Structure 1
Amino acid sequence: MHSRLHGLLGACRSDELRDVRRRLQLESLEQRLALTASGVMEADSALVSTAIAGEAADNEVSMRADIPDQVFAPYMDATLWPPFDPVELAKDQGIKHVTFAFVVADPGTSEPSWGGYYSVASDYRGDQFDALRELGGEVMVSFGGAAGTPLAAAISDVDDLTQSYQSVIDQYDLTWIDFDVEGAWVRDEVSIDRRSQAIRNLQDQARAEGRPLEVWFTLPVLPSGLTSDGVYVVESALSHGVDIGGVNIMAMNYGDGPAPNPEGQMGDYAIEASLSLFDQMQTAYDAAGVSVTDEEMWGLIGVTPMIGQNDLMSERFYVEDAQKLLDFAEDVGMGFLSAWSINRDSACDTLGVLAWDCSGVPQEPYEFAQALGQITTGADQPVDDTDPVDDTDPVDDTDPVDDTDPVDDTDP
């Protein structure tokens, strides 16, 4: 289907992906320092010294969060009523990685808030962050989205913006964040560049402190790829020296022109969009002077379909489309899959309707999550806390383990 797919019929091993990401991050640091030395990048000398000191202190500091190398983390609308319980999702369905959406500027104060309604400083849903981590999961927080004003647009000073983002990171002890840039804001180059510099500042600080901060960008897409505005978001991040964890595309609401006759083809269109993104990302990384192999690049790509009925009534993403996307993602070693949204992953009473809390297509509860969730490396299992371990029967250690038969680590 695509020339770059040849030879990519297996997902990358975990240790290989970690080495890849570390190499890309070190290359990015070297590039930033070279730009600074040549005068192309105007950076405060103290900031540069911090980056150098952090790298010199520990060359093994990676921006990669402690998450599976291939992971499904569905978006959860954190402000939708009635509130969705991601902890029950983790226990019942084994989906332990979740993207909480969205943090935007409070309309009155420009402070970080959930959807403009709940202050981040109030530790809104903080107990759920803790509970998911105790179950072996992790939370990605997404900034932006389609509604409200992004912090990068509401706060004009880069240092203040950096501090605002940092307050959210500190509040929830985050190592994994996402910036969903869409609508009018994907065309606002001033706020895009301001955000890129703030993210660079955040990662420099994280590196100096020896902690990870993995950053993803979520962008609108067509089957032909990102728009020129979306490409600019990626190029801006690279030119500011951001270590990009990956780019996630919103495979939804294309329109009849870019995606004719979508019935039964939404999975194919999502795959086509990811292939187009692959080429665009290679071009952007080449222009930034960072070499990335095909396998490495697939680890930096994510896809988020709108499950079920899309906003455009001619477009419906079925469970069969999810399975098709999963198969492709597993074959090429794609790093990230998500869904908009986990709140909608159940059937509506009536088919063909657009709703916030159900999909509008035939399905069993959480059938999309169970399909796409298979991408997660070492896929999570539901937590059964009703059957405690019986420790009254001791282990018989008189029969030693035969360690002459080595573990086969060729199967991830």
Structure 2
Amino acid sequence: MKTSCPDPGLTSSPRTRTLRWLRRLAVAAVAAAILPISAAGAADASDAPAGTPPGSIAAAPYYYFDSYNRPDPVDIMRRTGIRWFTLAFVVAPDATTCAPQWDGGGSFDPGSAQSRAIAAIRAAGGDVIPSLGGGGVYKLGQACDSTEALAAAYQQVVDAYELKAVDLDIEGAEFADPAARQRNVAALKLLQDRNPGLKVYLTVPVFDTGFSGNGIALVDDAKAVNLDVTAWAGMAFWFGKGAIDMGDASIRAMNGMQTVVRDVYGMSDREAYRHVGLSSLAGVNEDPGEVITLQDFRQVLGYAHRHQIGRLTFWNVNRDRQCQADGSDLPDTCSGVQQSPYEYTGMVARYRQPAA
């Protein structure tokens, strides 16, 4: 199954087009400064279907450690009811070193800012899904030269935090590289075999009609090694179509993904919906005219509950706030739409995927 359309994974994203050199200066100045972390418990958001579990792992927005704006995640939990965060990103330090680190250079040591944040989230009743890869330059899927080496690198992350789940965000050159795609799914299969019960999410760029050719190839690769993908999340932005209805476009993308997953894995329609999901974006994208509004999120939330999709996330809680009127906000730290703080996160928190 192929497509001749340009692949969205080769389009630069808000993550890669940010002025990274300036961000490095800002991060260096606040290396230990994730905002003071409280031990307060989180409120519960409760308009989910009756009988569904609180704090669904399927609802896990991205939190980016290497951001200009690093709000207190426990405060976000308290304000919104969110229980899970997808933490961005675990990367390689350079093009050839097969050793995991947090984007921006953070370690997995208990004293690091990232590890302290994870401990605080868990103390407040939440948990985390580290995201492997992302939109940066150096990816473990390319730096590690064998399946075994890549699986060992991913195992270091699982062991460091005793994880229940990981997310592979595969895009850009890694997504376009057949060898890297195949190495990743084979390594994730080894990781699951060695860690029974580990959930694996795969996040990929998509068209507004569903998977690209590279995305379809990745689904085929995953099926070939019998990787149990908990959910395929489509990055439903950067469609290149300007001012379109992004709620409708997101739903078209998920419907197209569902058809591919159903056919490749031989699933029923209902089962296939439970194995697809959405990775969206809060507010205004750099793609001219593309805006994902709060109403788009409400539309997608209704779709998620109707079809019981397997994942609902977005980029990212760091930008889930209204921009300053004077234009003083640093890149990718506000949504560009009129909103209350963490309003997108609050809607994601309302999603509960019922038990199978």
Instruction: Report the TM-score range of the alignment, normalised by the length of the smaller protein.
Output: 0.7 to 0.9
String of CA shifts for 1:86-130, please: whole Å, max 9, x gaps: 122112322111000011101284411111522335663212222
Q: Give the counterpart of 1:178 among 167, 183, 190.
A: 167
CA distance in 2, matches of 1:186, 1:351: 38
Asked if structure 2 preserves the Cα contact closer than 8 Å seen for 1:12 and 1:295, the reply is no
Gaps of at least 5 residues in structure 2 are 1-47
Q: Does 1:120 align with 2:131?
A: no
Q: Separation in 1 of the partners of 2:330 and 2:65?
A: 19
Q: Displacement, 1:275?
A: 0.6
Question: Compared with structure 1, are the counterparts of its residues 242 and 14 closer, same or farther at alpha carbon in structure 2 (3 Å cutoff)?
Answer: farther
1:234 paired with 2:219, answer yes
Structure 1 segment 48-59 matched on structure 2, within 5 A: none
**Corresponding letter in the other structure for 1:372:** V
Counterpart position of 2:151: 162
**Candidates 274, 282, 291, aligned match of 2:254:** 274
Note the C-alpha offset of 1:171.
Answer: 0.5
* Structure 2 Cα separation of the partners of residues 229 and 320 of structure 1: 30
1:342 to 301, 317, 320: 317
Q: Whole-Å Cα distance in 1 between the matches of residues 175 and 77 of structure 2?
A: 33
Residues in 2 aligned to 1:372 and 1:97: alpha-carbon distance in whole angstroms: 10
Give the length in aligned residue pairs.
306
Q: Secondary structure at the match of 1:248?
A: strand
- TM-score, normalised to structure 1, is 0.69
- C-alpha distance after superposition, 1:283-317 (max 9, x if no partner): 2113xxxxx22221111111011110112021001
Q: Is the 8 A contact 2:305 2:353 kept in 1?
A: no
Which residue does 2:190 correspond to in 1? 201
User: Normalization by structure 2: what TM-score?
Assistant: 0.80
1:235 partner amino acid? D
CA distance in 2, matches of 1:179, 1:268: 26
| Partner-residue secondary structure (3-state), 1:219 | strand
**More off after superposition, 354-363 vs 116-125:** 116-125
CA distance in 2, matches of 1:243, 1:162: 15
Task: Note if 1:358 corresponds to 2:328.
Answer: no
Q: Are the counterparts in 2 of residues 11 and 333 from structure 1 also a CA contact under 8 Å? A: no
Hey, what's the Cα distance between the residues in 2 that align with 1:131 and 1:245? 26
Kindly state the Cα deviation for residue 237 of structure 1 after the two structures are TM-superposed. Answer: 1.4
User: Could you tell me how far 1:277 is from its partner in structure 2?
Assistant: 0.7
Aligned to 2:299, which of 288, 299, 324? 324
1:213 paired residue number: 198
Instruction: Give unpaired runs (5+ residues) of structure 1.
Output: 1-9, 16-65, 287-291, 379-410
Cα pair 1:347 1:364 within 8 Å, conserved: yes
Distance change in 2, residues 1:11/1:87 (3 Å): closer
Task: Give 1:376 deviation, angstroms.
Answer: 2.7
Amino acid aligned to 1:206 = N
CA RMSD of aligned residues (A): 2.6
Q: Identity rate of aligned residues, in percent?
A: 30
Please tell me whether residue 367 in structure 1 is matched to residue 350 in structure 2: no
CA deviations on 1:208-227 (whole Å, 9 max, x unpaired) are xxxx2100100001111110
Say if 1:141 and 1:190 are closer, same or farther in 2 by CA, change over 3 A. Answer: same
Letter in 1 for 2:274: G
1:332 deviates by 1.2
Q: Computing the radius of gyration over CA atoms, which structure comes out larger, 1 or 2? A: 1
Change (3 A) 1:160 1:116: farther
| CA deviation after TM superposition for structure 1 residue 373, in Å | 2.0
- Which of 79, 87, 92 matches 1:100? 87
What secondary structure does 1:119 align onto?
Answer: coil
Q: Does 1:300 align with 2:289?
A: no
